[in-house]
Amino acid sequence: MELNATQYAEAIDDFLLKMEKLSGEDDPNYQTAIEKIGSLLRIALIKATFYMTPENELNKTGEDFCLYQNGTADMQRFYYQREITSSRNTIAYSIYQKADDPDWSQAEREKLQVLTKMLFVYNGRSRIMKLAEYLLFYDRDLKIYNLTYFKKHAEELISQNRISEFTACYFDLDHFSNVNQQVGIERGNQIMFSFVRQLYELFSDSEEEMVCRVGGDNFIALFYKEHTDAIRKFLEGTEISVDDSMQTKILITASAGFYLISDDCRTASDIVDRVSMANSVAKDLTAESAVFYNEALLQHINDITVVQNLFPKALQNEEFLVYYQPKVYLKNYELIGAEALCRWQHEDEIIPPGKFIPVLEQSKAICALDFYMLDHVCRDIRKWLDEGRKVVKVSVNLSRCHFGNINLLNDILNTIDRHNVPHQYIEIELTETTTDVSFKDLKDIVFGLQANGISTAVDDFGTGYSSLNLVRELPWNMIKIDKSFLDETESAPQQNRVMLKHIIAMSQEMGITSIVEGVETIEHVKMLKENNCFLAQGFCFDRPLPKNIFENRLEQLMA
């Protein structure tokens, strides 16, 4: 059977013109593009298989897609051609002849070879474009969009003047590294994907809403504003199945920054910057798990920047002052100790610690301030001893940020010994939240300090989740019971009092001294005495005192 050369040339021209307009091998117009040449060459079916490597073809693994189907195919008669791309991938074509038609002639087979070459060029280009798009816009592990796609999509909505219909949210999963340690990275990714998939169920059936992975356990989402409350509630805590049996579940929570996008938003980068800013505040500087971007937050961030910029010079100029809050023995109300607290005097203004301590804790700057405080406390104690005053033990707080410093113990001892201060006058306070660092580091520093005659205290006892392990494993000299146990709650008016009673009794039986902070009323004092706790600290006796006023309190001890 001879081909009509003119008809064949026209069919090829038509094929090439239509192929240029196709979006890919899954384009529905593919059938139309091949229709003329398929009819001339008596083709019933064209199938293609894409293999990631040539070797995979031997294992019969690959992705099949049908390019053309017209009539009944004779499955025993087909033309097979395989082409290898520059990236060592393979596209294999199987072209089946129409049933009951005569065999292809040699000329027709040559035309089929030309056809497969043209298909290869087009499909190879399409595959490369798809692969490039995948690498550019998708996260490889979770197979969801990434930050690059988020920005692209947001820019499109901005250009359409529709971006104010949406809320953006930047969130990271809390303590997800612990999940990975427990179940492994692969299972952890599955849990993460399940969390994202359930989040998608809160969206409308619209491709305009999405969750994109930024990296690690960080995500950014875009959704219609009416879904904001539901998304916020979901991120506060959702149970996710750990295994396929659906029996074991884990509660996943997230710290989130939200931005109700306004009309004046000009770029996708503005959106990312604002939700990232809100997320940072939620994660590091507030007790809230969700923070919304607004002008007040922007001012808050500016205040943080001011603190970070002023701190080095303020430390050099010794603008940070040591205030001493007395500790009182309730049997005779005598001063028996003090806690050193930091105040910042800048340009005749006292800046409260709540405005700068959380900022400095975001970096290692807090470590420099802690040793500044220890140095100044030792300087004061040495001065008081030289003046012949009666001196009490002073406790100095140590941030969790110090852990990981292998020279921490030596740095503390060198600071104290540089001022020739007897170790009995110093106590190091560690907050209970230091249990989120290496327990070995915590254990080493507590034992090391005590071996050198320096007392240790666990601060804010009872507010964390590992209190009993802390006192069971480590030989503390003092536990400071958090002031929250002095208050009665509406839901359980007796609960705090019962817990306070048993914490005091437990510490006494273990040979650990207990002190309650935040004692503000006579009723609080009476409650402590009834429970045989005779050490207290709080506004009922004294606020934190400047050094000169505290020195007057020391003089009263001599009277």
| pLDDT tens readout for residues 381-396 | 999 999 999 999 999 9
Classify domain 147-293 at the CATH topology level: Alpha-Beta Plaits (3.30.70)
Q: What does the alpha-carbon distance between residue 22 and residue 30 come to, in Å, rounded to a whole number?
A: 7
Residues 6+ apart with CB under 8 A from 117: 83
Return the structure tokens found at 50.
Answer: 């894409």
Please count the helices (runs of H) and the strands (runs of E) in the chain.
Answer: 18, 20
- On whether the CB atoms of residues 519 and 528 are closer than 8 A, the answer is yes
Q: What does the alpha-carbon distance between residue 343 and residue 351 come to, in Å, rounded to a whole number?
A: 6
Return the structure tokens found at 28.
Answer: 């529905």
- CA neighbor of 120 nearest in space, from 95, 157, 149: 95
- The whole-number pLDDT of residue 227 equals 96
Q: What angle do CA 523, 527, 531 make, to 5 degrees?
A: 170
- HSE toward the beta carbon, residue 115, CA cutoff 13 A: 32
Domain ranges of the chain: 5-137, 147-293, 320-558
Q: What does the alpha-carbon distance between residue 516 and residue 48 come to, in Å, rounded to a whole number?
A: 76
Residues 6+ apart with CB under 8 A from 320: 314, 342, 343, 344, 345, 369, 372, 373, 376
Q: Which residue has the tokens 């301030």?
A: 369
Task: Please give the sequence-ordered ranges of beta strands (E in DSSP) within 57-184, or none if there are none.
Answer: 63-69, 73-84, 90-98, 166-173
Ranges under pLDDT 50 in the chain: 434-436, 465-466
Residues 6+ apart with CB under 8 A from 175: none
Q: Is 237 left (phi over 0), alpha (psi -120 to 50) or beta?
A: left
Tell me the pLDDT tens digit for each residue of 71-91.
Answer: 899 999 999 988 887 667 788
Q: Cα–Cα distances in Å, from 442 out to 398, 414, 436, 456?
A: 11, 19, 10, 11
- The whole-number pLDDT of residue 435 equals 43
Question: By three-state DSSP, how is residue 534 classified?
Answer: coil
The pTM (predicted TM-score) of the whole model is 0.61
For 5-137, give the CATH class: alpha beta
Q: What angle do CA 343, 278, 299 make, to 5 degrees?
A: 50
H/E element holding 535?
strand 535-537
Phi and psi angles of residue 132, each rounded to the nearest 5 degrees, phi first = -60, -40
- The whole-number pLDDT of residue 436 equals 46
- HSE toward the beta carbon, residue 552, CA cutoff 13 A: 5
Radius of gyration in angstroms for the set of CA atoms belonging to the chain, rounded to a whole number:
36
Return the structure tokens found at 128.
Answer: 């490369």
- The whole-number pLDDT of residue 3 equals 72
- CA neighbor of 301 nearest in space, from 275, 329, 339: 275
Q: Does domain 320-558 have CATH number 3.20.20.450?
A: yes
Q: What does the alpha-carbon distance between residue 65 and residue 552 come to, in Å, rounded to a whole number?
A: 89
Question: By three-state DSSP, how is residue 37 classified?
Answer: helix
- The whole-number pLDDT of residue 399 equals 87
- CA neighbor of 432 nearest in space, from 391, 390, 481: 481
